[in-house]
């Protein structure tokens, strides 16, 4: 059996890499979910595994290699970022070259979308197409490459094996138990230590801009599996769990069953969902089970834009869902998109005003991106980031939104209250936001 090094690749900034996105997030740092899940699965199958988070450790490629040299990995496996893709390739190749005899394996959304292109890169020996668990296991077992479905590699020009079916029985996978130092990770204004879980893979909604985790078909963990996974995290000292599903409340009955599992455990948690998938009873059940915050996609106040993006929600849906969450005492953090063609300052300000009207506690604003695999990319063939009003500073329009939303007396008062309870998180967040809206952090989104 080959020895496998799983590494969250080095980067100068605290990048958060996930299957659906990658971003620089000065306010929080979550444990790397996909590498952890893969490590847990390989360990159960008897594969010698080492997991290194170079982002949390702030390690260079050389430091990563030094830390695992005695382990002598045969495979160096890494998840690809989005904006970080080119640098990720370089870092993956450097680590492989610093560990003689090892081969590199790249997985994630972009490798799954353009496997042949990446398989031809000199830094990459193998590209995984789709879910990585079974593919990496078969590589570690030394199976014949041509027999491993879902693989791409360079054989006189790229060679792709047949696609591999989705894993539909997610309960067949073990919980992502790991030996990372959890004290390094944080979610703003939440208890620590923090753990992360995915309770499902996939998202059925048709949003045109969205990268989904493994597609529109949803595979679920059972509520019992989730309860067991959370108990294992609690045994490791975890006090708070971030669920990283694309849409946590897709199945209402399942969500209520999860709440029944979590309620007696005394752990707090947060999740990502849609406002049109919330109602008063569901929100009350989530709050009783320990949920503290919901991350929700709002995107825009413009009905025409919501329709063009196939959002499938209206402003009225946003208002109903937000009211249900607020009545249950749940915090709301809303995602918004700016920079669509023809958008002006007034439409951005209207979206900021909607965020205020909905009673959101936080907003996360990003430019519209058209990544491969999204409907917008397929239909419009646009580059990865559309232009915005100020070509010299493409992030200026985001700062308009942040200033409009946060520089209101109500939100400033809320932040002062949070600062009293969580002074360290407040200091990090307010300092970063202040620098960003002042224009001192050019060249990236603020999350």
Last residue within a domain, chosen from 160, 195, 212: 160
Q: Quick check: 296 and 275 in contact, CB under 8 A?
A: yes
Instruction: Give 279: exposed, middle or buried? Use CB within 10 Å, 0-12, 13-18, 19+.
Output: middle
CA angle 50, 55, 60 (to 5 degrees): 80
Euclidean distance between CA atoms 180 and 176, whole angstroms: 11
H-run or E-run covering 336: strand 331-338
Crossing angle for the helix pair 280-288 and 252-262, to the nearest 10 degrees: 20
Q: How far is CA 124 from CA 12, 32, 68, 93, 148, in A?
A: 21, 21, 19, 7, 17
Euclidean distance between CA atoms 77 and 90, whole angstroms: 14
How confident is the prediction for the chain on average, in pLDDT?
90
Helix segments in 192-344, DSSP class H: 223-235, 252-262, 280-288, 303-308, 315-327
Does the residue 177 lie in any domain?
no
Would you give the distance in Å from CA 253 to the centre of its chain?
Answer: 25
Between 431 and 369, the more confident residue is: 369
Predicted confidence at residue 445, as pLDDT, reads 55
What six digits make up the tokens of 72?
């002598």
191 and 153 in a single domain? The answer is no
The proportion of the chain whose per-residue pLDDT surpasses 70, expressed as a percent, equals: 88
Predicted confidence at residue 212, as pLDDT, reads 82
284 and 356 in a single domain? The answer is yes
pLDDT, average across residues 14-27? 86
135 and 192 in a single domain? The answer is no
Euclidean distance between CA atoms 374 and 24, whole angstroms: 21
Label residue 239 by pLDDT band (50, 70, 90): very high
* Nearby residues of 344 by Cβ (< 8 Å), 6 or more positions away: 389
**Tens digit of pLDDT for each residue in 81-118?**
998 999 999 999 999 999 999 999 999 999 999 999 99
94 and 237 in a single domain? The answer is no
Does the residue 444 lie in any domain?
no
Euclidean distance between CA atoms 326 and 287, whole angstroms: 10
In sequence order, what are the beta bridge partners of 291? 269
H-run or E-run covering 349: helix 345-357
Does the residue 442 lie in any domain?
no
Does the residue 165 lie in any domain?
no
* Nearby residues of 204 by Cβ (< 8 Å), 6 or more positions away: 216, 217, 218, 247, 250
* Nearby residues of 97 by Cβ (< 8 Å), 6 or more positions away: none
Euclidean distance between CA atoms 65 and 3, whole angstroms: 14
Is the pTM above the cut of 0.85? yes
Q: Quick check: 297 and 273 in contact, CB under 8 A?
A: no
Does the residue 445 lie in any domain?
no
Euclidean distance between CA atoms 51 and 178, whole angstroms: 8
198 and 143 in a single domain? The answer is no
**Domain limits for position 133:** 4-160
209 and 312 in a single domain? The answer is yes
For residue 14, the domain's CATH number is: 3.40.50.2300
Q: Quick check: 369 and 331 in contact, CB under 8 A?
A: no
Predicted confidence at residue 219, as pLDDT, reads 97
Residue 425, pLDDT > 80, answer: no
Number of H helices, E strands in the chain: 17, 17
370 and 255 in a single domain? The answer is yes
pLDDT, average across residues 124-143? 98
Last residue within a domain, chosen from 145, 160, 175: 160
382 and 281 in a single domain? The answer is yes
As a whole number of Å, the end-to-end CA separation of the chain is 41
Does the residue 145 lie in any domain?
yes
What is the count of structural domains for the chain? 2
**Tens digit of pLDDT for each residue in 333-355?**
999 999 887 788 899 999 999 99
Within a 10 A sphere around the Cβ of 314, how many other Cβ atoms?
A: 14
Predicted confidence at residue 23, as pLDDT, reads 84
pLDDT, average across residues 395-418? 78
Does the residue 167 lie in any domain?
no
């Amino acid at each position: 059996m080959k020895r496998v090094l799983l590494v969250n690749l080095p980067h100068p900034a605290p990048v958060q890499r996930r299957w659906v996105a990658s971003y620089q997030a000065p306010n929080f740092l979550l444990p790397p979910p996909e590498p952890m899940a893969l490590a847990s699965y390989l360990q159960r199958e008897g594969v010698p595994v080492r997991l290194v988070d170079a982002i949390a450790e702030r390690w260079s490629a050389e430091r990563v290699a030094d830390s695992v040299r005695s382990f002598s990995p045969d495979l160096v496996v890494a998840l690809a970022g989005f904006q970080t893709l080119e640098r990720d390739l370089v870092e993956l190749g450097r680590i492989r070259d610093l560990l003689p005899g090892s081969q590199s394996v790249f997985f994630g959304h972009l490798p799954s979308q353009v496997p042949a292109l990446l398989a031809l890169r000199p830094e990459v020996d193998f590209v995984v197409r789709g879910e990585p668990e079974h593919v990496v296991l078969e590589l570690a077992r030394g199976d014949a490459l041509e027999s491993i479905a879902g693989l791409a590699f360079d054989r006189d020009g790229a060679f792709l094996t047949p696609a591999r079916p989705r894993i539909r029985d997610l309960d067949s996978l073990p919980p992502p138990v790991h030996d990372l130092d959890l004290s390094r990770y944080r979610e703003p204004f939440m208890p620590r230590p923090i753990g992360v879980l995915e309770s499902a893979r996939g998202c059925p909604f048709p949003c045109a801009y969205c990268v989904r985790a493994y597609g529109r078909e949803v595979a679920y963990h059972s509520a019992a599996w989730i309860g067991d996974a959370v108990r294992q995290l609690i045994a490791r000292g975890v006090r708070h769990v971030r669920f990283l599903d694309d849409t946590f409340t897709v199945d209402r009955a399942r969500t209520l069953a999860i709440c029944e599992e979590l309620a007696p455990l005394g752990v707090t948690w947060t999740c990502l969902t849609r406002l049109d998938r919330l109602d008063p009873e569901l929100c009350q059940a989530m709050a009783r089970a320990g949920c503290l915050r919901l991350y929700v996609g709002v995107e825009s106040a413009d009905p025409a834009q919501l329709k063009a993006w196939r959002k499938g929600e209206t402003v009225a849906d946003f208002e109903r869902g937000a009211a249900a969450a607020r009545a249950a005492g749940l915090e709301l953090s809303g995602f918004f998109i700016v920079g669509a063609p023809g958008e002006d300052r007034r439409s951005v300000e209207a979206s900021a005003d909607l965020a205020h009207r909905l009673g959101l506690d936080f907003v996360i604003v990003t430019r519209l991106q058209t990544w491969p695999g999204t409907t917008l990319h397929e239909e419009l063939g646009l580059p990865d980031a559309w232009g915005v009003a100020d070509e010299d500073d493409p992030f200026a329009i985001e700062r308009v939104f942040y200033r409009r939303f946060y520089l209101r007396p109500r939100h400033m008062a809320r932040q002062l209250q949070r600062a009293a309870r969580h002074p360290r998180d407040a200091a990090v967040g307010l300092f970063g936001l202040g620098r960003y809206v002042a224009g001192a952090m050019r060249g990236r989104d603020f999350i």
